Amino acid sequence: MTYWDVYYTVTSVDEAARLLAEHAGQARIIAGGTDLVVELRKGARQLAAVIDISRVGGWDYIERRMDGLIHVGPAVSHTQAAASPLLQEHALPLAQACWGVGAPALRNRGTIAGNLATASPANDTITALRALEAQVTLRSVRGARTLPLAEFYQGVRRTAMQPDELLVDIAFAPLAEDEVGVYLKLGLRKVLAIAVTNVAVVLRRPQGQIAEARIALGSVAPTIIRAPAAEEALCEQRLTPESIEAAAQLAAEAATPIDDVRGSAWFRNEEVAALVRRGLQAVQRGEERLGLPQPAEMVKLWGKSELAGGQCWPTLSGPTIVHHAGGDEPIQCTVNGKNVSVQGANDKTLLHLLREELGLTGTKVGCEEGECGACTVWLDGVAVLACLTPAPRAHGASIVTVEGLAQGEQLHPVQAAFIAEDAVQCGYCTPGFVMSAANLLAEMPHPTREQISAALSGNLCRCTGYYKIIQAVERAAGDVMG
């Protein structure tokens, strides 16, 4: 299936803006691709051009600037954000929202900017950023403009961003000493679940009495909304069972949800009240951080490169690279330590490049929608889903597939442990599990059972052999690390 005519990998914002202008509404930006590739696949729509901004140098910043605001760059992934000490300390709802997105390999590529631009009312980071009163900066060849998120959203999946604009910055004030925030999400399961409802709460409480309250609600209206009556009711109050209950009920009244496959309108209304109640109770008890691991305890599946302080989004130096669908420009990369040059894969995903062009069929075709993890490979040391990664993104990168894990005849300890523990039934999911598990052990030599489950949470086994799989990873950790 062909998704685009031309794939540009740009190295500057000017280049991205110029290309968007040149292609006048026929081009789209791609960052992680976790939304766009799924959309193109489902819609069978072909774009004239896709502009990859994931390698613009320095666009993965999360920093506090002279203007007093925290700024987040357009290439910042959910993993990076969740693990950021700055965000964990001064923008907890955003770190929590990012930690709740999808599963590890999806978080490694999906960006906050992409989440904002997709503009689904169920998206996690929008709710958190609405409560943080964030603003976004848009750039085009015509110049730059900054909009509060409240003005950025215009309807279901509709924003004020024009076809020639791209989002170049997200900024918001850090939570002050007397402010506290929390984010809660209800999904149909713990991971890989779009929100049935989500809620973010920020309170300013000098001396314990609430001076300002911000409550944002997701998945209950065409856009993410605030709950002004609930916010007002909390002002000049302390958190008591009565004030919490009143705010929870008023928040539910602000919601105008619809029935859909994830839940009925009635259920969503009930859940808004429940989540607001739980959020305020957590703040009252000082428990708003529960459930979010410290950065060092997080399972990121970033591999050794991140542990060594390496870049997680390697930047291409030099000029913009252009790959034409059906064109002769080769994708040059390293696969399992060997230099390869592949022609004719410019319009494919990495999954099909590996399988069809290189014959590496260990990487499995499962859902091709990011849901099963069967296609997990390492891209520059980071676990990613090959089905959502455009093949041209591999240009200049180092890829490791399941075929590259063994050293000659010597199986990787995770492979050996899968055999020893009989952790394989039909085996279809096994390469994906092995790649995730091996990356976990590279990052975290002595994972707890909880960390193993978190690392493997994006990998599904239809034969449901989870106990054996977890035992195998525990065995491998013992075998390798002693």
Is 196 or 244 the residue whose CB approaches ligand FAD more closely? 196
Q: Are 52 and 28 in contact (CB under 8 A)?
A: no
Q: Minimum Å distance from CB 409 to ligand FAD?
A: 36
Q: Minimum Å distance from CB 106 to ligand FES?
A: 8
Residues 54, 71, 84, 188, Cα dihedral to 10°: -80
73, interface contact from ligand FAD, ligand FES, none, CB < 5-8 Å by kind = none
Residues that bind ligand FAD (CB under 6 A): 28-36, 38, 53, 74, 101-102, 106, 109-111, 113-115, 117-118, 123-124, 166-167, 192, 194, 369-371
Is 79 or 415 the residue whose CB approaches ligand FAD more closely? 79
Q: Are 168 and 139 in contact (CB under 8 A)?
A: yes
Is 156 or 307 the residue whose CB approaches ligand FAD more closely? 156
Q: Minimum Å distance from CB 366 to ligand FAD?
A: 11
Q: Are 404 and 337 in contact (CB under 8 A)?
A: yes
Residues that bind ligand FES (CB under 6 A): 365-368, 370-375, 385, 387, 424-429, 461-463, 465
- Annotate 209-230 with DSSP letters as a single string: S-SEEEEEEESSSSS-EE-HHH
462, interface contact from ligand FAD, ligand FES, none, CB < 5-8 Å by kind = ligand FES
Q: Are 401 and 358 in contact (CB under 8 A)?
A: no
Is 35 or 421 the residue whose CB approaches ligand FAD more closely? 35
Is 60 or 368 the residue whose CB approaches ligand FES more closely? 368
Q: Minimum Å distance from CB 430 to ligand FES?
A: 6
User: Tokens representing 224?
Assistant: 């993410």
Q: Which amino acid is at 336?
A: N
Q: Are 473 and 449 in contact (CB under 8 A)?
A: no
181, interface contact from ligand FES, ligand FAD, none, CB < 5-8 Å by kind = none
User: Tokens representing 136?
Assistant: 């976004």
Give the orientation angle of helix 466-481 with respect to helix 430-443, to 10 degrees: 40
DSSP state of 407: B
Q: Minimum Å distance from CB 149 to ligand FAD?
A: 14
Is 106 or 175 the residue whose CB approaches ligand FAD more closely? 106
98, interface contact from ligand FAD, ligand FES, none, CB < 5-8 Å by kind = none
Give the whole-angstrom CA distance, residue 158 versus residue 323. 29
30, interface contact from ligand FES, ligand FAD, none, CB < 5-8 Å by kind = ligand FAD
Q: Are 394 and 384 in contact (CB under 8 A)?
A: no
Is 102 or 366 the residue whose CB approaches ligand FAD more closely? 102
Q: Are 273 and 165 in contact (CB under 8 A)?
A: no
169, interface contact from ligand FES, ligand FAD, none, CB < 5-8 Å by kind = none
Q: Minimum Å distance from CB 22 to ligand FES?
A: 32
Q: Are 234 and 247 in contact (CB under 8 A)?
A: yes
Q: Minimum Å distance from CB 310 to ligand FES?
A: 25
196, interface contact from ligand FES, ligand FAD, none, CB < 5-8 Å by kind = none
338-342 and 331-335 as β-strands: parallel, antiparallel, unpaired? Answer: antiparallel
Please work out, in degrees rounded to the nearest 5, the angle formed at the alpha carbon of residue 299 by the alpha carbons of 293 and 302. 135
